[in-house]
Amino acid sequence: MSTSVKHREFVGEPMGDKEVTCIAGIGPTYGTKLTDAGFDKAYVLFGQYLLLKKDEDLFIEWLKETAGVTANHGKSAFNCLNEWAEQFI
């Protein structure tokens, strides 16, 4: 699987207080929509990923409903958070 620079940078270090737009697949437009919905930080979106029990289909569907994220961008975000979780928890 080929990953973006954004993906590699995100999974390469602790999440800390990073903005939600630091997650692969989440750019400024989706970031604004997620922030408006209360998901302004990467760790907040990661919490939603955990609440959905790390289920790819549920998470992508939730992103579509919450921020209008496309399936492709949703998959990128899921893969980014999933790989981060495998490395750090």
Contact 14, 3 (CB under 8 A): no
Q: What is the pTM of this model?
A: 0.95
Tell me how far apart the alpha carbons of residues 75 and 87 are, in angstroms, rounded to a whole number. Answer: 18
Contact 88, 15 (CB under 8 A): yes
Domains and CATH numbers, the chain: 5-88 (1.10.150.40)
Predicted confidence at residue 2, as pLDDT, reads: 72
Contact 7, 80 (CB under 8 A): yes
pLDDT in tens, 53-84: 999 999 999 999 999 999 999 999 999 999 99
Predicted confidence at residue 3, as pLDDT, reads: 84
Tell me how far apart the alpha carbons of residues 85 and 45 are, in angstroms, rounded to a whole number. Answer: 12
**Statement: residue 21 has pLDDT above 70:** yes
Tell me how far apart the alpha carbons of residues 15 and 79 are, in angstroms, rounded to a whole number. Answer: 15
